Chain A
């Protein structure tokens, strides 16, 4: 077989990426995921800016991950200033991030990924084919948007989350109403796990490692400092992320690639990586749904990231309903009014699990709280090298199976989408 597959601007992903695959005499010669997203140079933009503006600017790296960029920056700044936020503020941050999980996973699964498996070019025809699915999917996405709006002030680029706390909170009745809606949405999320589990996928096993935040007692997304490689079993403190992962440049990508510093191994970070690392701490319904779908560690097929996201929807709904009820009943210690603080110089690393995986922001501030140096390592930048290696494995499998060019092209596109890449984040 001989084929050259070029896909300019892969559709239904966030950002601009091209696929380039060359097959000669049945051999897969070239496999490239070219990230052609325009550079915006955020690390240079925040330099010289006050700490009060940093999270507001960094939020613009990515619309859908904006809450993650904000919270990660705030964590970095608070470590420098030595601020301990209240339990209530931590709960609100978790709720804000989970709101973005609902948005992200809902959008990715239904608007971006599902059309492939339903034989459609977009989600819009689904309104005719399966109106109940279409309406429920939009309702789920809408619930995430409304949660972000009520906690953060708008559906993307949150306003209310600041250093030390929040500038605004919703009422107890509004929290309770959200909790009830989340409970009502859970059966659909469970059905979503079954739906994505029913889609046929190629049998490939990623050879890279997986990286996620780790806490032995919790499905942690923003309040642990420990990152863990699921395969190697090694852990590191977020402060030392630079000593454990390294970025490197390649000509065909505007995004820097990343690998584990010591093993030089590619790795994936994602919902699937989180499930591999934190499966023990999933909520009950999520664990049952995962078990029924056969999703349990070790799971190395990257296509299963879709099912992992669906499981996280169940988990997020269950967790957020409880958070909302406890916030309504004032069960968390302290208030969300911003803590007082004194500006001082120093280095701080913020670490969260964005919807697409581990996110690190490192900031050096001067005595006036202005940024001297910033480093931002996003989930997708960490994923592209691993994605390329999985694309090659998939292409080789399909060639061996005698697949035609159109099928190879579609399956590779589906793999790219399964990673849920955020190319605007990856280049920033």
Chain B
């Protein structure tokens, strides 16, 4: 449900928005501020109630839209997102960490031994009770997702409009390979190099490939992805299938473990 639909008490009150940061690099929150030219225009449509990164207002009890960045990596964070869900009409997950578990999700495999590896004795109390990193949608229902690592500021603006006003646009599911064909860029596989565009959801216009670097899969697996087909394609181009599986872990470890 979009925010305006929920606001029945008065027509004049703009939707109240909070921004919550979990385990992440803060980059997606920064990307919001990186929409400089449009920032005040965006803020003019909402009542920004809480955003720890940029204002010293305290977190309020009531709001309409919650924007969540980061993966859920502690019991405390689980509790936070559940509380947010109870209060928000619309929950938006932004960035790979929140949408797929992202890079923090890589640690979901053998978590305990990893903690020991970095903190010799035991984790400090300040770290809270850690759990296997998960995307927000594994804990609560999420209404919309802005993909990629980091999010594109304009993609965020488009999603925010949908959260506020609603939209009947369907989520596209095609893989990124289709975009490269349209862009007429040279395929990495023809040079014997691995690229994850084969199975990754198209969300970025093939930004990395356009700049000479293969796709790392930050938008997450496409629902249309055929992993076995992709493995066969790797083999036929002389690209290591083991490398393909390893590379997939970077942004899809949580999905692969299911």
A interface residues (Cβ-Cβ under 8 A, vs B): 9, 11-16, 34-36, 38-41, 43-45, 47, 49-50, 53, 56-57, 60-64, 66, 107, 111-112, 115, 121-124, 127, 138-139, 141-142, 145, 153-157, 159-160, 162, 167-168, 249-254, 256, 413, 424, 427
Contact = CB atoms under 8 A, between A and B. Distances in A.
A41 B150 contact: no
A41 B115 contact: yes
Contacts of B118: 39, 41, 43-44
B208 interface: yes
B135 to A, nearest CB: 14
Contact of A40 (B28, B73, B208): B73
A156 B52 contact: no
A159 B208 contact: yes
A56 B217 CA distance: 12
Contacts of A115: 55-56
Nearest to A40: B104
B124 A249 contact: yes
Contacts of B56: 11-12, 115, 121-122, 413
Contact of B53 (A12, A39, A138, A139): A12
B114 A41 contact: yes
A9 B19 CA distance: 13
Contact of B25 (A66, A121, A250): A66
B125 A160 contact: no
Given A39-B118, A145-B36, A250-B124, A57 B27 contact: no
A32 to B, nearest CB: 10
Contacts of A60: 25, 27, 102-103, 149
Contact of B73 (A11, A39, A256): A39
A40 B126 contact: no
18 contacts: A14-B53, A16-B21, A36-B128, A38-B128, A39-B73, A39-B123, A40-B23, A53-B216, A60-B149, A63-B25, A124-B55, A138-B39, A142-B34, A153-B213, A157-B150, A168-B212, A252-B124, A256-B119
B55 to A, nearest CB: 4
Contacts of B120: 249
B33 A107 contact: yes
A53 B52 CA distance: 32
Contacts of A47: 117
Given A53-B250, A66-B25, A153 B208 contact: yes
Nearest to B51: A122
B207 interface: yes
Interface residues of B, number: 64
B158 interface: no
B98 to A, nearest CB: 13
Contacts of B246: 49-50
A157 B149 contact: yes
A327 to B, nearest CB: 17
A156 B30 contact: yes
Contacts of A9: 52
Contacts of A56: 216, 250
Nearest to A38: B23
Contacts of B23: 38-40
B84 interface: no
Given A38-B23, A38-B74, A124-B43, A63 B121 contact: no
Contacts of A256: 119
Contact of B126 (A35, A107, A139, A154): A35
Contacts of B113: 44
A157 to B, nearest CB: 6
A66 B126 contact: no
A83 B130 CA distance: 40
A252 B130 CA distance: 15
A187 B118 CA distance: 46
A141 B127 CA distance: 32
Contacts of A167: 211-213
A335 to B, nearest CB: 14
Q: Which of A9, A111, A139, A159 has the most CB of B within 10 A?
A: A159
Q: List 5 A-B pairs, minimum CB-CB distance, nearest first.
A: A63-B27, A167-B212, A122-B55, A11-B56, A44-B114
A115 B55 CA distance: 9
Contacts of B28: 63
B22 interface: yes
A41 B128 contact: no
B77 A38 contact: yes
B126 A38 contact: no
B31 A40 contact: no
Given A122-B56, A168-B211, A64 B26 contact: yes
Interface string B88-126: 000000000000001110110001011101111101111
A36 B125 CA distance: 9
Interface string B205-237: 001100111001000000000000000000000
B172 interface: no
